[in-house]
Chains A and B, each alone.
Chain A
Amino acid sequence: MGILFIILAFFAYTLEKEHLITTEIQTMNSYLTQLEEELKNHHLHYSKEIVIDTKGYQLGLYDIDRHPILTQLHASFLWNTSLSHEGDKVYASHTLSTYFLGVATIIVSKKIDTTPIVIRLATLLIPLFLLMAIVGWILSRIAFKPALTAFETIDTFIKHATHDLNTPIAAILSNARILEEKISEVSLHRFVQRISIGAKTLTGLYEDLVYLNFQCDSPTPRTEEISPLIHEQLGLLDTLIAYKELSVTTALSQTKLTIVADDFRRLLNNLITNAIKYNTPKGSIFITLEKNFLSIKDSGIGLSDREKEKIYERYWRGESFETGLGIGMEIIVRVCKSYTLTLEINSTKNHGSEFTIRWPQSLIVPF
């Protein structure tokens, strides 16, 4: 809309300026005719003193050879045209049929002042632009209101739900653990296991939502060994892994980084959870930890090129029946940004994905 207004203002200015030039040239021509009469009178009366009123114009009197008799003009005049304007100067010339006082050509020039045009256009267009901007803003608010309301509702719901989730989840988990120990019938263990998986998934979601919505000041980074953190997360997710009958292979070298352990726990949890969730039953997971990188490779459903672009969007979930809110990748990206980690995704649809995290040399603690 801004560009449209600039174009409109430019055209309006050009038209107004052209009109001003035309009007000015007409006035100049009247003056030139009047001046010819004046020269004629002086010539016929052999005037001893000839005073010519320039009326604010710059004036030049030239003989037949275009030599100046008396002139105030310094700019080069286009002799081939009778009327002209150059920049903000307007010229008009008049050729005399009889050379009174030896004058063959009279040229007048005036610098045109476009300030009134600019002021007039500004007083007209700026309020119009503001009015249209306000109307546009109001209309866009009305048009996007349903979408904005939906997003606000989701965010508000998540924020409210997060507060109240912790206690019941803890109760479910502890009671499921007690039930598993107390129930002697093996066939019932599977049902208890499902309750436990559901509760652990809810715990992960709860922690992720707290991290995204109520991020407090981060504690000071400390030297942490990464492989115990990986084992810790695998232990937490063992129920899920066992349920899907996945095989997990690890090749972990001793790596120490200066980090906040909880941030890396969250990062690892989301990466491993994704490798489990988007894996096929009886599939495999390979976790490799080297001094400079961590790689988590699965034999799951993989990602198409379009999905690779969409995974960073909040609330996006893959073509899966698995649970989740679609905020896992956002957490991964957020942790990566805060530690300047690089994330590489190699994925082939229906063949699996490999997520590789590389960290800068500055994070590595030498042994």
Chain B
Amino acid sequence: MQSKTISSPVGARRATFTEWIGRDPTVTMLCAFILAAALVFGALTPTRFFSGETFRAMAFEMPELGILALAMMVPLMSGGLNLAIIATSNLSGLVTAAIVTSLIHPSSSPMAVAGVIALALLAGMATSLLIGFITGYIVAFLGVHPILVTLGTMTAVKGISVYVTNGGVIGGFPAAILWMGNGTLLGVPVSMILFIFCAVVIALIMTHTPFGVAVRLIGSNEKATRYSGVATNWMLVGVYVLSSLLCWMASIIMMARFNSARAGYAESYLLITILAAVLGGVDPNGGFGRVLGLFLSLILLQEISTGFNLLGFSPHLTEAIWGATMLFAIFIALLRNQWSLRLWRSKTAQ
């Protein structure tokens, strides 16, 4: 595997775009899928699919699932899983919503409104940070399987939301919050900007900080990482805190888009986030994954959803196609592995 393009020491020539794409088979495959889907939908609905309106609709719909998928990706990279992401989002959304709706009155001055919104957002952040810390602490220091811990936190956190609201809705927000979900900046949806910001930050954290490297190493082999002197326990706490922080970001967008907060919003997204991450090349066993892959897989899923919507199919068919796409992607990856194995064997046989 020691080819020139793969080992690139400092000062080596920059890889061309095709090399850069080709280095990651998942990215190549997803680009091909996206292109193929665009061609099919473009052929079936030529005027409507390639229109500014369609792209804007896609850009408005993607960030919610996108940020939640990022929140799922980080624990997946560490070899874990966070089933509590939706519950965390909803509870921190509810906390924010409760503060905003109870403290802001029509007569409040703009300064007071800004102050209350800042306070509410901070309270929501504190809520999700607390949930993330508790989850991470139990995973790291008690050594419980993340599926079990997050199953527990999910049930408990959702239980709190349901208990406090009696299953009801808290709604009616000032324009500033609605703007984060429905407004645009230079023609780009604000929520999309927030999502891209989160994606870039997570990509940088995972590749360019000691924390990110440690997380990926823990995902590959936790014991070896611990014996090489990394404080794996605290890194794992960090993983779940970071995941919860992303849930808080998602909660703001969800709140703004629905103009309300509730205990049971977006529950069907939970397993879809795992699907999106794995389709984007995140190894469910931990250790490997790129934000770029996740981003492409989200574009593909959104494209399928929007395209079927334009063709007049029900959203349920879209979900079925999502599931089938996942299985198909696993199949392609298997073929690719077998093919490269055969290539390797024939090379070593010579």
- Are A and B subunits of one complex? no
